A and B are shown apart, each in its own frame.
Chain A
Amino acid sequence: MRILVVEDERRLAQNISRALREDCSYAVDVASNGADGLFLAGSSEYDLIVLDLMLPKIDGATLLRRHRQSGKRTPVLVLTARDEKESVVALLNAGADDYLTKPFDLGELLARVKALIRRGKGHATPVLKVGDLEVNTIEKSVRRGGARVELSPMEYRVLEYLAHRPRAVVSKSELLEHLYDFNWEKFSNVLEVYVSGLRKKLGHEAHPLIHTVRGQGYVLRDGV
């Protein structure tokens, strides 16, 4: 998963992005003003945007409105120092999906981020199921046929992304886009290494889960 944090308070942005990286192993980009935020939100595929309201250059509410006007459906979690009803109502009406008032609880922020991503991809529960495969996005644990499968963090991220979109073909570039932030070089052959590792660890050669669609990408599905 890849998250955009738009927050001008350098320290706050640092803490949020670090928590998202450490706890959820998400890829995180940080924009320190509204203009950069709007540019990044429009140019890359993000699974969620954490948006501060008071921003230099373009304020958060305007950014949110413009982002929605451009047809983007990325879930947006707003951070605000105000908690008056009217401003919250206006925010939700402008297209925000959820909000947190400062000072917020970092644990709550992480839980809301996960819930928003899950719901944004059409899942109501944190446990994603494909055939006999179970991906628990809270514990970040994977079971196949009830048996626990140990994965490396990167392997887990690849599997979680695929599990969010079962039966859909996910291109390599899409996977890369959602797995890495701008600080990482993107090498598609690295991806192939993770996928082959995943296949090995998930086992059951007779019933593979991750299939390669030649020239298009990967698909996670039960059966052929």
Chain B
Amino acid sequence: MRGPSLQRRLMAVVLLSVTALTAGLLLAGRFYIHRQLLRGLDDSLEGRAMSVAALVRYPEDGSTDLVFERGLLPASLDPRGRDKYQVIGPNGQVLEQSKDWPKDWNFATSSSRRSQYAWLENEQYRTACLRNVPILDEETGIPVSAKQLLTVSYATSTEGIGRQLTTLTAEIAASGLVLLIMSGLIVLLGIRHSLRPLRDLAEQAGAVSPRNWSFAAPESARSVAELQPLIASIDTMLGGLQRAFDQQRDFLASAAHELKTPVAIQKSSLQLLIHKPRTADEYRSGLRQCLTDTERLEDLLQRLLRLARADQWAQGAANRDLTPQLLSASCEASVARFRDWATTRGVALNLVTNGDLRVLADADDLELIWGNLLENAIRYSPSGKSVTVTIAHESQAALVSVADEGCGIGAEELPRIFERFYRGDPSRSRETGGVGLGLAIVKTLVEAYGGSTTVSSEPDVGTTFVVRLPAISG
């Protein structure tokens, strides 16, 4: 199912506007031509009327009866010879008129216009009416008398100009059609050409896959200003997608390693035990070893469950009754728990408290958060250095920072340390650390309480984790 095509839309818009333009031109042209033709016709009619008027003479014998020289009538404007005329004398009597002059035609009244339309047997006529035309002397051409004035009407069929108008309109319409077709073709080619960069871009973007993230916008697309924002967002989106994909892949690989290794150990231990008959003592020590191996799997499961619970809690899916916890007491308990281990590693543990700040939380969760942070700090501290836990107050928040004086965390690693199963050591060796869930658990738990965890680190100076929790008054 394809939506309306951009190309077709553009075409439609352009063709519609060209059509509207042509139609407008046609109407305006027709109106103008009609006016010009009518003006020409009116001029001709007046000329004819003047010529007819000039045929009225005083007789040479001096009598007062006016004569009309019918033999000198001008040629008819109508090719069929249907022109009509009427001459009304000074006294209002019809002096002369063509034989077919309709009885009901009367344009001589002073109110009527010089030129007007008239109808006769469903045929339109254009008439001109000249009033107060003087009778001219035949030889001198000078009006004989100012009082002897004529009224002359002349009419001809408008069929002639109607035909001309139709012909001219048809010609304009034909050229308009040619214009329409030509502009349509030009627009089609133009749009196709302009849309090519878009197609190139789509093709290039279509080649991107989780196996191949490389995307370079084609030159043709990069040179188009309108496509710049699109290219920029494709780049940004692909970068984000790639990070998400890589993170997911790393997560799977790390989780597989963490889950498979204890299973592999246990399986091989058991297989070794049943491989051949052994003494009761050997079986006993073998089973004891298997139990120890199981503890590692148990520990991993426990961490995963804690994380899942924190997730659930963070998403608001679980309800718990929380009680206000005194931060100093909570941190003190955790520090006390780690003091022996720190001492055996030659690391000093300091606690700096600030008043009796309280947070609304579960006591076990808080202990887990401080415990994980302390465990990391002590593990990565060389002998002779110290780890300091500081409780501080900042407007509505309680701040607990755990600072060590270890070797620090590299800038490229720092953003990833809260990822689940992330380990700085790619070998994920048991000798150098845990399973990589400790900090993820801290982050998820703290966020579940509406707080945040941040980290800053400087090589060879140390690393500081800051947990910010909403403080409650009282």
Contact = CB atoms under 8 A, between A and B. Distances in A.
B256 A82 contact: yes
Contact of B267 (A10, A18, A54, A103): A103
Interface stretch (B52-60, B347-355, B428-436): B428-436
B178 interface: no
B291 to A, nearest CB: 12
B257 interface: yes
B260 interface: yes
A39 interface: no
Given A54-B257, A103-B264, A106-B267, A8 B272 contact: no
B5 interface: no
The CB with the most chain A CB atoms within 10 A, among B256, B425, B426, is that of: B256
Contacts of A203: none
A81 B271 CA distance: 19
Contacts of B276: 22-23
A8 B427 contact: yes
A223 interface: no
Given A19-B268, A102-B261, A106-B267, A82 B253 contact: yes
Interface residues of A, number: 28
Nearest to A34: B427
A56 B424 CA distance: 11
A168 interface: no
Given A9-B430, A82-B256, A22 B275 contact: yes
A8 B429 CA distance: 6
Contacts of A55: 427, 429
B433 to A, nearest CB: 11
The CB with the most chain A CB atoms within 10 A, among B260, B264, B265, B430, is that of: B264
B293 interface: yes
A16 interface: yes
Interface string B365-408: 00000000000000000000000000000000000000000000
B275 A9 contact: no
Contacts of A18: 272
Interface string B262-292: 0111111101100110000000000001000
B267 to A, nearest CB: 5
The size bracket of the interface on B is: 20 to 34
Contact of B271 (A34, A102, A107): A107
Nearest to A104: B264
Contacts of B265: 9, 11-12, 15
A105 interface: yes
Given A11-B293, A103-B260, A106-B275, A54 B426 contact: yes
Nearest to B430: A9
Contacts of A8: 427, 429-431
A19 B196 CA distance: 67
B427 A81 contact: no
Given A54-B426, A105-B271, A12 B432 contact: no
Interface of B: 253, 256-257, 260-261, 263-269, 271-272, 275-276, 289, 293, 425-432
Contacts of B430: 8-10
Contacts of A32: 431
A59 interface: yes
Contacts of B263: 102-103
25 contacts: A9-B430, A12-B268, A15-B269, A19-B272, A22-B272, A33-B427, A54-B427, A54-B428, A54-B429, A56-B425, A56-B427, A56-B429, A57-B427, A59-B426, A81-B256, A81-B261, A102-B261, A102-B263, A103-B264, A103-B266, A104-B264, A104-B267, A104-B268, A105-B267, A105-B271
Contacts of B269: 11, 15
A9 B315 CA distance: 36
Nearest to B256: A81
B272 A81 contact: no
Chain B facing A: main interface SS: helix
Interface string A22-45: 110000000011100000000000
Interface string A1-20: 00000001111100110110
Contacts of A57: 427
A22 B430 CA distance: 26
Nearest to A23: B275
A85 to B, nearest CB: 12
Given A18-B272, A19-B272, A23-B275, A12 B261 contact: yes
B427 A9 contact: no
A32 B269 CA distance: 18
A71 B80 CA distance: 117
Contacts of A19: 268, 271-272, 275
Interface in A85-101: 101
A222 B373 CA distance: 70
Given A9-B430, A10-B430, A106-B268, 14 more contacts: A9-B261, A9-B265, A11-B289, A11-B293, A12-B261, A15-B269, A32-B431, A34-B427, A54-B428, A54-B429, A102-B260, A102-B261, A103-B268, A106-B275
Q: Which 5 A-B pairs have the closest CB atoms?
A: A103-B264, A106-B271, A15-B268, A102-B264, A56-B427
Interface in A45-82: 54-57, 59, 81-82
A22 B275 CA distance: 9
The CB with the most chain B CB atoms within 10 A, among A15, A18, A22, is that of: A15
B424 to A, nearest CB: 11
Nearest to A52: B427
A185 B141 CA distance: 157
B222 to A, nearest CB: 33
A12 B293 CA distance: 10
A103 B425 CA distance: 22
Nearest to B425: A56
Contacts of B289: 11
A81 B268 contact: no
Contacts of B293: 11
Nearest to B423: A54
Nearest to B289: A11
